[in-house]
Copies of this chain bind each other. A is one copy, B any other.
Amino acid sequence: MRRIEVGGAQSYAVEVGAGLLDTLRVPERHVALIHPTDLPAGFVTRVQKALQPAVTIPVPARDDCKTLEVLSGVLSRLAGANIPRDGAVVGLGGGAATDLAGFAAASYLRGVAFYTLPTTLLGMVDAAVGGKTGVNLPEGKNLVGAFWPPRAVWCDTDTLGTLPGAVFREGAAEAFKHGLISDPTLLDRVLSPDFRPGGALLEGTLADAIDVKAGVVTRDLTERGERAFLNFGHTLAHALEAVTHHGVPHGDAVGYGMHYAARLSRALGGADLTGHTRAFLTWQQPAPLPPVSFEDALTFMARDKKADADGVRFVLLRDLAQPYLTRVPEDVLREEFSGWQQDLHDLNLLT
């Protein structure tokens, strides 16, 4: 079992290991458990046995739960169950469900204790650490939410064993990204055959990938500086998700987006890291991408919340573990978009 401390105004621990679903405890007496409907029933039962929640609230699977309508229903369930101010909300499931659960915890009675039990690789590496919670709007992803750190995060590696291979590989995108921006030792490990559910490299690689994010978040709680580097690959990723109406899973979109960002980095004078991002796409086997025009992508990149009043920002890399923030001229964006599409075509990743 690995334990990672996340600092900041309100510090907490991330525990990574097998069998945590059965052993977890919280100090609060009144607990609400939120989980997506597509979770293996055994997970819910095990957590119910461990926590004895006052109410268990199923929510739609994947991003379908990240709406203000679902949030409204969850909040009413919390109120209907009389969860008090000193109660707690526990989010069990993928990143979407825990994002929703976290925002429900942040806004119910103006904030109650929150705990996260991520059951996907993506949820463990990305969503569970950092305190970002929220839902989507018709206008874009994650446009509504709160910074509301959990009191504790439990990553039970056993839960990854039930994931389809494609979902596991999808989630590896964030771990690979942490390798690119901060810890290059992760790159080979993520692509290793032993990085798989039950594999010898799983727990250590996962814990080190989480540690990258924990370090960044500890130093920069509200995303004013270094934390922005975690958005490497995400500007195009969010645009692809928006243009395809979430037809591309987040981790797959990040895989595509990292390769685009690697091309932009090279075009602006950085080291050529496109071999890494190309190798990752080959390993990840993301869902093939439907046709996306540059104009559509640009519209959404400019609307992304990482944009500010002066234009679209990008996180790029001077070299491995050397991220920086910059603005990229539109002609470069356009030219590299074209090259990126050609690369995807060569990799047989366009529908």
A147: Cβ under 8 A from any B Cβ:
yes
Contact with B along A131-149 (1 / 0, CB 8 A): 0101001111001111100
Whether B85 lies near A110 (C-beta < 8 A) is no
Partner of A137, one of B79, B84, B309: B79
- A104 to chain B minimum Cβ distance, whole angstroms, is 9
Beta-carbon contact of B308 and A143 below 8 Å = no
A38 at the interface (CB under 8 A from B): no
A76 at the B interface (CB under 8 A): yes
Q: A76-B138, A138-B76, A139-B79 are in contact. Are A30 and B107 (CB under 8 A)?
A: no
Are B134 and A80 interface neighbours, CB within 8 A?
no
From B76, B87, B110, B134, contact of A110 by CB (8 A): B134
Q: Is A86 an interface residue (CB 8 A)?
A: yes
User: When chains A and B are docked, how far (Å) is the Cα of A40 from the Cα of B50?
Assistant: 57
Please, how many angstroms separate the alpha-carbon atoms of A82 and B106 in the complex? 24
Say if the beta carbon of A2 comes within 8 Å of chain B.
no
Q: Bound complex: CA of A80 vs CA of B107, how far in Å?
A: 23
Closest to A303 in B: B82
A68 contacts chain B at the CB level, 8 A cutoff: yes
